[in-house]
Amino acid sequence: MNGNRPTGRQKRTVSGGGNARRRGSGLGTGPVGSGSRPPGSGSSWGGSPAPQRGGGGSSGGGCLWLLMGFLLGRGSGGSRNGTRGRGCLSRLIVFVVIIALLIFLLQFCSGGDDPLPPGNGGSSGTSDEYTELFSGFSGSTASAASSDLVYRPHEADYTVSPLARDKKTQFAGTGEEVFTIMVFMCGSDLESRSGLASDDLQEMARANLGSNINLIVETGGAKQWKNNIVNSQGNQRYQIVNGGLRVLDRNPGRKSMVEPATLADFIRYGKAEFPADRYALIFWDHGGGSLSGFGYDEYYPGDSMTLDEIEQALQLAGCDFDFIGFDACLMASLETALVAEKYADYLIASEAVEPGTGWYYTSWLTELATDTGMSTVEIGKNIIDSYVAKVEQEGLSTPATLSLIDLSELAGSLPEAFSRFSEGTGDLIAGNNYNHVADARSRSRDFSTQEKINQIDLIHFAENLATNEAGELAGILRSSIKYNRNSRNITHANGISIYFPYSSLAHVSTALNTYEKIGMDASYSDCIRNFASMSAGGAVAAGGSSGPLGSLTGNSSGSLFGSLFGVDMTTGSSGGSSSSLVSELIGAFLGSNNRQIVTRDPDNSWINEELLEDKLAYFTEYSGALYNLQLSTNKAGQQVMALSEEEWELVRMLELNVFIDDGDGYIDLGLDNVFDWDD
C-alpha cells in the first residue's frame, strides 16, 4: 500500500545546532559557502553552512491542505480513497502540504537562486632568492601525518578502451621524469575566515618532494591570509621547496583570480620557468558546478570563472596536462570534462560539495616523489584515497566523493553514445512519455537540492531512465571513470554529473548559453530545453486551479496564474471545461511578457512554444484531478484530503508550507518535508 509513497523524511523532533559545514554550496548570492570556522574546531575546519532559504517545520498545528501539482503521463481518479493528513493544533499556524508531481513543480513560484556572484608587476625570482619556512606561519595547526590515515582496499581500473584517443602527455615511466604541478589558489573567504588555504600550503610543505617535482603556487583572491608570508595586497607566486615557500614573484600586481587572463599567465609562467616531462593543474577554491564554474575573489565580488572562460584560459596558455584537478565543489561534471578534455588526459574532481579541509596533499605528493613515472591512474587513486580517508578520520559530516576520469577514453567513446542518449530522451519528452523522464530525474542523486542548481549523477539518471541508449551511455561512463570513492554517508555518486533542470528553471538560459560556448551536443541542449518547457507549461496548467487554497483564504473564485496572466477563471470560456481553461492559461502564458513569474529565468527565449501548444490535450488530461481537490474534516476534527491510490502513484514529493495568519493575510514561513498519512 505504501510502496508508492513519497520519500520525504518522517516527522521527528531534534535539538537545533547541527554542525554540517560545507566548502561550497553551488549557486548563491555570494561565495559558495561562507568560510567561517565553528568555535573550537581548529583551523582545519570548513566553511559555515550555506544560507537558509526558508523556515523549517514548526511545533504548532493548523489546518492541513494539499496543493497538488500534477504529474504528466499517468491517469488520475480511481475508486478507493484513503485519508492523508495531520491534525489542527492551533488557530494561527496553517500548514500547507504541497504535493509536487513530476511536471507541475510549483516551487518555481517560490523564488529561484541567483548565479554565483558571478598594480605593478614584479620580476621573476631565481634560486638565489630565499625560502621562507612554515615555522613563520601564525594561527595554524598541524595536519595528521600520512601514516595516520587508514585506507580501505579499493581497486582502480588501469585498462584503456581501444576507442580512446592518444594521450597528450607521453612519458617513459622511468621514475626520473620531471613533474611540474601548478596550483591556482584563489584563497577567497575560505582563507580570510578560516585559514584553509594556509592549511593546505602547510600540507604541501610537509611532503618530501625530492628533486623531480616542481610544485608552483599562485596565491590571490583573499583579503587576509592567516600566515605572515603570503601578502593579501596582490597576487604572488611561490615554489614549495625544502619545507617552505620560495618567492618566485612577490608582486605581479593585484589581478582577479577569476579572470581567464590571470590563469593563462600563471600557466605560461609555470611552463616556461619549470619545463617538465609532465604537467598538472589544480584549481583551489569554491566551485559552483556546470553553471557558474570556479572561484570567488574577495577583491572582485560578483564574478566567477565560468566553464567557457576556463576553456579560454587553457587555450591561451598552450599547455597540455597529465591531469587537471579541482580541489573545489561540484566540478566533476560532464560539462567540465568536455572543457578539460581538449587540454588534459585526466580529470580529478568531486560531484558533490567538498568539506572545508579539501584534499590532503602531504601523502600523495610524497608518494609521487618516490616515483615521478607513476601512472596517472595511480596518482589519482592516491589523491582520492587520502582525501576520503582524511574526511572520515576527521569525522566530518559533509559527504565526500572524488573521481578520476580518463578524458582520452571519454573523448573516443562518448560522443555518439551521448548523442543517441540525448535524442532518445528528447523523443520521450516530446512524445507522451515526459512522465517517465521526470520520474527518472526525480529519483536520481541530486548534489545541490538546497541550492537548486540541478546537478545530478549522470550514471544514476541513465540507469533510472532504463532505455537502451541510457544503458549504453552508463556503460561507457563507468568504463571512463578509472577510480571513484565515496564516504559512507553518500550513495549513488558514481563519478560524473550533469545539469538537468527540475527543481528550478531559473538557470536554463545560463546553461544553454554555456553549452553553446563549450560545444555541448546540440541534441542535449534540445532535450533539457523541451523538458524545461514542459515543466513550465505544467506549472501554468496546475496554477489554473484555486483548489483548496480558496477554502483556506475564503476566496474560491480565483486561481494563481489566472490572476497573474489576466485570465478570468470564473467567466467566459474558462468557466466551461478544463480543456478550455488549460488552453486559455497556456495561451496567456505564451503571449505574456511575464513568463519569468513561472520560470524565474530572466531570459525565457528557450521556451518551446510549439511544443506547449501541441501538448494542450496532454496538459488537460493530467490536470483534471487538480481542479477537484477539496479539504474535508475527519471524525477527529482534522482537515484532510483524500487521494485515490492511483493519484498517490503520481506523487513524488511532499512539502510542508508553514503560514501564520496575521489577521490581514498569511505570512509564508517557508517549507519542510515532514508529512503523515494513514491508510
Type and span of the H or E element at 428: helix 415-430
Whether residue 145 has pLDDT greater than 60 = no
Average pLDDT in the 640-654 region?
Answer: 71
Residues 225, 93: one domain?
A: no
> Amino acid identity, residue 26?
G
* Domain stop point among 504, 520, 553: 504
Residue 11: left if φ>0, alpha if ψ -120 to 50, beta else—which one? beta
Cα 51 from Cα 587, distance rounded (Å): 37
Q: CA 156, CA 152: separation in Å to the nearest integer?
A: 13
**pLDDT, position 2:** 52
- Using 50, 70 and 90 to split pLDDT, how confident is the model at 458? very high
Predicted confidence at residue 18, as pLDDT, reads 36
The Cα 111–Cα 89 span in angstroms is 29
Q: Is the pLDDT of residue 519 over 70?
A: yes
401: which residues sit within 8 A by CB, 6+ positions away? Answer: 332, 350, 351, 352, 388, 484, 485, 486, 487, 490, 493, 495
Q: What is the pLDDT of residue 438?
A: 93
Q: Is residue 392 part of a domain?
A: yes
pLDDT at 654: 66
Burial code (b: 16+ CB inside 10 Å, e: under 16) for 142-151 equals ebbebeebee
Show the cell assigned to 426. 528528447
Percent of the chain beyond pLDDT 70?
Answer: 69
Find all residues with CB under 8 Å of 90, minimum gap 6, and list them.
60, 61, 62
- For residues 99 and 190, membership in a common domain is answered with no
User: Which segment of 157-166, 383-392, 454-463, 620-629 scores lowest on mean pLDDT?
Assistant: 620-629
Q: What are phi and psi of 9, to 5 degrees?
A: -70, 150
Measured CA distances, 669 to 58, 104, 379 (Å): 9, 22, 49
Phi, psi of 239 (to 5 degrees): -115, 130
Same domain, 357 and 258: yes
pLDDT number for residue 374? 98
Choose the weakest-confidence range: 498-512, 595-609, 644-658.
644-658
Indicate whether 555 pLDDT > 70. no
Provide DSSP, 558-608.
--HHHHHTT--SSSGGGGS-HHHHHHHHHHHHHT-S-THHHH--S--TT--
Residue 547: the pLDDT is 43
Q: Confidence class of residue 660 from pLDDT cuts 50, 70 and 90?
A: confident
Residue 216, SS3? Answer: strand
More confident residue, 51 or 187: 187
Query: How far apart are the C-alpha atoms of 154 and 484, rounded to whole Å?
Result: 9
Residue 244: is its pLDDT beyond 80? yes
519 and 512 in contact (C-beta within 8 Å)?
no
Residues 111, 214: one domain?
Answer: no
The answer to whether residue 243 scores a pLDDT higher than 50 is yes
Report the chain's mean pLDDT, rounded to a whole number: 77
Q: Does residue 84 surpass a pLDDT of 90?
A: no
Asked if residue 322 and residue 258 are part of one domain, the reply reads yes
Residue range 411-432: average pLDDT? 97
Task: Let me know if residue 141 belongs to a domain.
Answer: no
For residue 351, tell me if it sits in a domain.
yes
Residue range 244-264: average pLDDT?
91
Q: Which residue has the cell 559558495?
A: 32
Please give, one letter per residue, the 3-state secondary structure of 117-136. CCCCCCCCCCCCCCEEEHHH
Q: Are residues 268 and 315 in the same domain?
A: yes
CB within 8 A of 381, min separation 6: which ones? 154, 156, 404, 483
Pair (92, 42) in one structural domain: no
In a domain, 533, yes or no: no
Compare 550 and 60 and report the one with higher pLDDT. Answer: 550
Residue 140 near residue 198 (C-beta atoms within 8 A)? yes
Query: Quick check: 645 pLDDT over 70?
Result: yes
Residue-level pLDDT at 394: 87
Residue entry with cell 483548496 = 548
* Residue whose C-alpha cell reads 559557502 in the numeric block: 33
Q: Tell me the chain's radius of gyration from C-alpha atoms.
A: 27
The residue to which cell 478570468 is assigned: 568
- The reported pLDDT for the residue numbered 567 is 55
Domain of 245, in residue numbers: 22-52+183-413+480-504
Cell numbers given for 93: 499556524
Q: Residue 388 is inside which H or E element, if any?
A: helix 376-394
pLDDT beyond 60 at 126:
no
**What pLDDT was estimated at residue 663?**
81
Check whether residue 98 and residue 208 sit in a common domain. Answer: no
**Residue 406 in this model has a pLDDT that exceeds 60:** yes
pLDDT above 60 (res 44): no
Q: Quickly state the pLDDT bin for 577 (edges 50, 70, 90).
A: low
Q: Are residues 45 and 68 in the same domain?
A: no
pTM above 0.95, yes or no: no
pLDDT band at 543 (very low <50, low <70, confident <90, very high): low
In a domain, 16, yes or no: no
3 state SS of 217: strand
Clarify whether residues 95 and 242 are in a common domain.
Answer: no
315 vs 251: which has the higher pLDDT: 315
Least confident of 194-198, 306-310, 341-345, 591-595: 591-595
The whole-number average pLDDT for the span 202-227 is: 97
Strands 481-486 and 213-220: unpaired
The answer as to whether 564 is a domain residue is: no
- DSSP for 336-353, please give it: HHHHHTTTEEEEEE-SSP
Same domain, 335 and 243: yes
Residue 187 lies in a domain: yes
Q: Give 301 or 448, the one with higher predicted confidence.
A: 301
Instruction: Summarize pLDDT for 307-332 with one digit per residue, the tens.
Output: 999 999 999 999 999 999 999 999 99
SS3 of residue 456 by DSSP:
strand
Confidence at 113, pLDDT banded by 50, 70, 90? very low
The alpha carbon of 226 is separated from its chain's Cα centroid by a whole number of angstroms, namely 29
pLDDT at 112 over 50: no
- In the prediction, which pLDDT does 539 show? 84
Q: Would you say residue 251 lies in a domain? A: yes
Number of domains in the chain: 2
Q: Identify the three-state secondary structure at position 292.
A: helix
Mean pLDDT for the stretch of residues 515-533: 98
- In the chain the first and final C-alpha atoms are separated, in Å, by 8
Same domain, 86 and 39: no
Task: Return the pLDDT at 26.
Answer: 38
